């Protein structure tokens, strides 16, 4: 993990996470310069490195300021941008009443230097609006917590996401932010940038196994598929839940819904790191998609009571991790299905034996 490589000023944030394999390298470039975003770049070289022209990156025209050296080693690149947070409530006629949008490109972000943990591979981007006339953020903040992984495993805290060494976690957190209405709900806009020939698809998988995330049976994945061979190149995966506590439990569950995935070529993500890597023509040359992920119960009271909201997602390269039935659930199913079967077999044997014994006491008449 490198913080602001080649730059000694901590007034801006750029975090480079580099995972090196025997013959390839995975690059994650997180940044809060503009809207918070992450670049995902896979290379076919174990020695590829990130280059940053800081003067150009911090200028009004950042195109070409970020690249991977050697450029020929890049086999895939994409970006995920967290652009806006919406706050809304339902009116009397069941209409959604929206308050002024929080544009994350206009936020002021703290330095992540004091939250960067090279041992745990974590960092936290914390921000507040540059202007807050309503004072909603006077005692609160918005944050994106980033975690990298060195091996496969499962997170301890809910929603206990299953991860691999090819993935990283991002946690979206609203803490102490005062709602602007009764029963306010929130939605996060997530924008993806893909190369030509790659399309985003939203998948939903349901399972009866909720051992690791109690009462949550749905996992959603936003996957980038190659239109040539339908292979999955990258993904953003999450459970259909958020939580209203710093130490989440099942009862702290907040309903999470994903709204329509749509093309967003008309709306270029306001992120300097995206423009710096993909260039000024990203809106026309590359595929831009957007999805809104909303949080809130039926009446929206959960956040109003606790003033805390956290939602976790996994992002990475290749196929998203897929949960299989855990040993505990397999054991329960084996007992539940096996016990009646054993009883049926034993009962049948007892009946047959009893019948044979009863008829053996009689002698044939002739």
Q: Average of pLDDT values for 312-329?
A: 83
CB atoms within 10 A of CB 326: 12
pLDDT band at 163 (very low <50, low <70, confident <90, very high): very high
The whole-angstrom separation of Cα 60 and Cα 54 is: 12
Name the residue with higher pLDDT: 99 or 268: 99
Tell me the per-residue pLDDT of 30-89, one tens digit each, with 9 for 90 and over.
999 999 999 999 999 999 999 999 999 999 999 999 999 999 999 999 999 999 999 998
pLDDT exceeds cutoff 90 at 339: no
Tell me the per-residue pLDDT of 111-155, one tens digit each, with 9 for 90 and over.
999 999 999 999 999 999 999 999 999 999 999 999 999 999 999
The whole-angstrom separation of Cα 132 and Cα 134 is: 6
The whole-angstrom separation of Cα 209 and Cα 298 is: 25
Tell me the per-residue pLDDT of 56-68, one tens digit each, with 9 for 90 and over.
999 999 999 999 9
Tell me the per-residue pLDDT of 256-314, one tens digit each, with 9 for 90 and over.
999 889 988 666 667 899 999 999 878 778 889 999 999 986 555 778 888 999 999 99
The whole-angstrom separation of Cα 181 and Cα 99 is: 9
Listed residue (221, 225, 226) closest to 239, CA to CA: 221
Name the residue with higher pLDDT: 92 or 183: 183
> Do the Cβ atoms of 293 and 257 come closer than 8 Å?
yes
- Global pTM? 0.88
- Provide DSSP, 217-261: -EEEEEEEEETTT--EEEEEEEESEEESSSS--GGGEEEEEEPPP
pLDDT at 247: 92
The whole-angstrom separation of Cα 52 and Cα 61 is: 14
Tell me the per-residue pLDDT of 233-252, one tens digit each, with 9 for 90 and over.
999 999 999 999 999 999 89
Strands 66-69 and 49-52, bridge-based pairing: antiparallel
pLDDT exceeds cutoff 90 at 335: no
pLDDT at 299: 54
pLDDT exceeds cutoff 90 at 26: yes
The 3-class secondary structure across 302-317, one letter per residue, is HHHHHCEEEEEEEEEE
The whole-angstrom separation of Cα 304 and Cα 297 is: 11
Lowest mean pLDDT among 239-248, 296-305, 333-342, 356-365: 356-365
């Amino acid at each position: 993990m490198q913080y602001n490589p080649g730059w000694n000023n901590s007034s801006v944030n750029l975090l480079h996470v580099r995972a090196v394999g025997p013959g390839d390298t995975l690059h994650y470039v997180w940044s809060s310069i503009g809207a918070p975003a992450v670049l995902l770049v896979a290379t076919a070289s174990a020695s590829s490195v990130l280059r940053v022209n800081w003067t150009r990156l911090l200028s009004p025209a950042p195109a070409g300021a970020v690249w991977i050296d050697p450029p020929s080693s890049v086999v895939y690149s994409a970006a995920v941008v967290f652009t806006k947070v919406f706050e809304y409530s339902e009116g009397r006629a069941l209409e959604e009443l929206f308050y002024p949008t929080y544009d994350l490109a206009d936020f002021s972000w703290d330095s992540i230097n004091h939250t960067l943990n090279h041992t745990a591979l974590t960092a936290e981007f914390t921000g507040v609006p540059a202007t807050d006339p309503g004072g909603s953020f006077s005692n609160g903040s918005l944050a994106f917590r980033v975690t990298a992984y060195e091996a496969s495993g499962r997170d301890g805290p809910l929603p206990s996401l299953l991860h691999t060494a090819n993935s990283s976690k991002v946690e979206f957190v609203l803490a102490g932010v005062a709602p602007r209405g009764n029963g306010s709900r929130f939605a996060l806009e997530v924008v993806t940038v893909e190369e030509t020939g790659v399309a985003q698809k939203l998948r939903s998988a349901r399972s009866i196994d909720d051992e690791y995330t109690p009462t949550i049976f749905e996992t959603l994945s936003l996957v980038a598929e190659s239109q040539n061979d339908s292979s999955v190149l990258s993904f953003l995966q999450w459970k259909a839940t958020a939580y209203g506590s710093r130490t989440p439990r099942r009862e702290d569950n907040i309903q999470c819904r994903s709204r329509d995935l749509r093309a967003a070529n008309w709306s270029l993500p306001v992120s300097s790191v995206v423009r710096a890597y993909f260039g000024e023509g990203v809106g026309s040359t590359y595929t831009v998609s957007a999805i809104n992920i909303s949080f809130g119960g039926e009446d929206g009271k959960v956040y109003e009571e606790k003033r805390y909201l956290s939602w976790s997602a996994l992002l990475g390269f290749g196929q998203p991790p897929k949960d299989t039935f855990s040993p505990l659930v397999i054991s329960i199913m084996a007992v539940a299905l096996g016990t009646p079967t054993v009883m049926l077999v034993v009962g049948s044997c007892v009946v047959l034996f009893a019948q044979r014994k009863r008829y053996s006491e009689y002698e044939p008449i002739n």
